Amino acid sequence: MKAMVIGASLAALALASTTPPALAGSDDVYFWCWKQADYVRPVLMRGEKEAWVANCVADHTPPLATRKKKRY
Residue type at position 13: L
Domain coordinates of the chain in residue numbers? 24-62
Residue 32 pLDDT > 80: yes
pLDDT band at 26 (very low <50, low <70, confident <90, very high): confident
pLDDT band at 50 (very low <50, low <70, confident <90, very high): very high
Q: What is the rounded average pLDDT of the residues 12-36?
A: 69
pLDDT band at 4 (very low <50, low <70, confident <90, very high): low
